[in-house]
Chain A
Amino acid sequence: MPTVSMTVNGKKVSGEVEGRILLVQFLRENLRLTGTHVGCDTSQCGACVVHVNGDSMKSCTLLAVQAEGAEVTTIEGLADGDTLHPMQEAFRDNHGLQCGFCTPGMVMSAVDLVKKNPKASEHEIREWLEGNICRCTGYHNIVKSIQQAQQTM
């Protein structure tokens, strides 16, 4: 079995995995980082979004071995101890979630947007969220949350 090594949330990790193991399986099952969710499992819903070498990606459509040597950040890696990341704080302030299932992916996707396009317009925010689906239809408050985080990040 191949051995895979990567840095997850600043910590070096490695494990033996079959080639077919997805990054999200490695994160959830090997590392027990269950904040990253699997929704559709067909790379559409975005609940599994994590950052790989600074870009947001769908961890259900990436093999763990493809992330060999990568810097991975998951939702667990955003907060600083008990202090929430400004994006998490903004989601809380603006009721940017209802059931919360899509939230880890929404937050990771939103952080990538604000890092790359800090002044994104409301339209650009909505376009960026094309790959993140919220079944509770909380998009209005998600957009508001991201707009708040644009001021605080």
Chain B
Amino acid sequence: MYDFAYHKPSSVADAVAARSGAEDGTFVAGGMTLVPTLKQRLAQPSDLVDLGGIGELHGITVSGDTVTIGAMTTHGAVAKSAEVQSAIPALAALAGGIGDPQVRNRGTIGGSVANNDPAADYPAACMALGATIKTDKREVPADEFFTGLFETALDEGEMIVSVSFPKPEKAAYQKFINPASRYALVGVFVAKTGGGVKVAVTGAGQDGVFRVPEMESALSSNLSADAIADVAVDADTLNSDIHASAEYRSHLITVMAKRAVAALS
């Protein structure tokens, strides 16, 4: 790992200032992706701004029908949260299925969402539940936030403060894991709200997470696994790699989506 200047601010304002004052700085949340990336010398930031000392970024609040999760809240904390378990059980279950217990004790929702790994779980939940990503400057709907592989709508130096999820009527997440990494080979999040049904897929798209309008409209008129049994995502739009071909991923999307619909609660 190349060396860097290290900063540990105690407020959002100080973090943003430290980041903007750096030549080529980066924020570090839990570091579950960034630290391995630095070790492999795939990144060489001049400055690391550690968000671990900012109290206001931690915690979960439920207000009315909205669950708001601070950016530095760990996957373990979301999984164990009685509030999340009761308001959006599918979200608590998703958090409890990320990585392994030690990764969940360190990895954060803000880090995962900002990184937008094409195989990460949270982006699918954000898209299907219609989450809002709050930054130090603005609020961005999930549909406009995830813009490509490891790409988001975040500007240079902009940081996530929290993610708000409206409570759905029903939701479920099903993932087919890569047995080595536990990342999603394909993960499908299905959510039913007053506004209809949303289906978001992670792990498979060439541009990262995406929604499946054909499944959404089929499920909006008939919320059953049978309704999407014949709906397949075109393999030409999906990833092929050593773990799975695009055709296999296409097959898995329909299977995982059907399982998610059957598991809706």
Contacts and interface: CB of A to CB of B under 8 A. Distances in A.
B38 A55 contact: no
A109 B106 contact: no
Contact of A43 (B8, B36, B50): B36
B1 A58 contact: no
A46 B100 CA distance: 10
Contact of B52 (A46, A66, A132): A66
Interface string A86-130: 000000000000000000000001001100000000000000101
Interface string B105-130: 11000000000000000000000000
Tier of interface size on chain B: 20 to 34
Nearest to A67: B52
Contacts of A58: 102-103, 106
B50 A20 contact: no
A44 B109 CA distance: 20
A55 B36 contact: no
B3 A18 contact: yes
B39 A41 contact: yes
Interface residues of A, number: 28
Specify which of A55, A56, A61, A130 lies most central, judged by the most chain B CB atoms within 10 Å of its CB.
A61
A130 B31 contact: no
Interface in B36-54: 36, 38-39, 48, 50, 52
Contacts of B58: none
A61 B32 contact: yes
B6 to A, nearest CB: 4
Contacts of B13: none
A20 B8 contact: no
Contact of B102 (A20, A56, A63): A56
A109 B103 CA distance: 12
A128 B2 CA distance: 33
A61 B38 CA distance: 10
B150 interface: no
Interface string A17-53: 0111010000000000000000001111010010000
Interface string B144-163: 00000000000000000000
A43 B99 CA distance: 10
A65 B105 contact: no
A128 B101 contact: yes
A80 B152 CA distance: 50
Given A20-B1, A46-B100, A112-B101, A63 B182 contact: no
A134 interface: no
Contacts of B52: 66
Nearest to A46: B102
Contact of A42 (B1, B4, B36): B36
Given A19-B3, A55-B76, A63 B35 contact: yes
A55 B105 contact: yes
B160 to A, nearest CB: 19
Given A42-B36, A43-B36, A130-B182, A62 B106 contact: yes
B242 interface: no
A16 interface: no
Interface of B: 1-6, 8, 28, 31-32, 35-36, 38-39, 48, 50, 52, 76, 99-103, 105-106, 181-182
Interface of A: 2, 18-20, 22, 41-44, 46, 49, 55-58, 61-63, 65-66, 68, 109, 112-113, 128, 130-132
